[in-house]
Amino acid sequence: MNRAYGQLFKTFLKIGAFTFGGGYAMIPMIQREAGEKQGWISDDDLIEIVAIAESTPGPIAINAATFIGSRVAGVKGSLCATAGVILPSIVIISVIASVLEQFGQMKQVQWAFFGIRAGVLALIVKTFVNLARKQAASALSIAVMAAAFAAVGLLKINALWVLLCAMAFGLLRAVFKNGRNDAK
């Protein structure tokens, strides 16, 4: 079992160290490292992890690491995976904070951050496309997604309210569908 702790820590340390841009940018690497290489989760598990991690407090990468670590090796496994994913960020932020004030006004540094933001956006779009391909997308689910995007992105409605409304819609749809199936 000790080997599992070390493997969880090492895998999530790698994920935390080599992805930038937050949880959504980490999802492709979590899928590759924890799913394809280690076999800890399936693609369906990843979709569920994203949904659960998005609806619980805290960063998605930490929630995902905690969930996967718990599944693989219990509470100690969740601690190892979580420590692994956050350690690189703590180190990197500490180093950047100590030198950013001195170098933040340099054009090269500003252009580097511009490039990093563009790369992160590409990772987020890739994650969206991968997750959309794996789900059976109905016209209704696409309409709900578009409405949620418009509400948050264009109308600036708080994402929490949009999530709660989407959840309520999904529950009502399930109740309606089950009621209709029971009547047959």
Q: What is the mean pLDDT of residues 88-116?
A: 82
CA 91 to chain centre: 21
% of the chain at pLDDT higher than 70: 92
pLDDT score for 84: 95
Query: Token pair of 181, please?
Result: 């199936």
Answer yes or no: are the C-beta atoms of 33 and 14 closer than 8 Å. yes
Chain mean pLDDT for the chain: 84
CB 15 within 8 A of CB 29: yes
Domain regions of the chain by residue span:
2-135, 137-184
Biggest CA-to-CA distance, the chain: 71
Provide the pLDDT for residue 11: 95
Q: What is the rounded distance in angstroms from the CA atom of residue 45 to the CA atom of residue 135?
A: 12
Q: How high is the pLDDT of residue 182?
A: 59
Give the pLDDT of residue 157: 92
CA 106 to each of CA 93, 101, 102, 103: distance values in angstroms, whole numbers, following the listed order: 18, 10, 9, 6
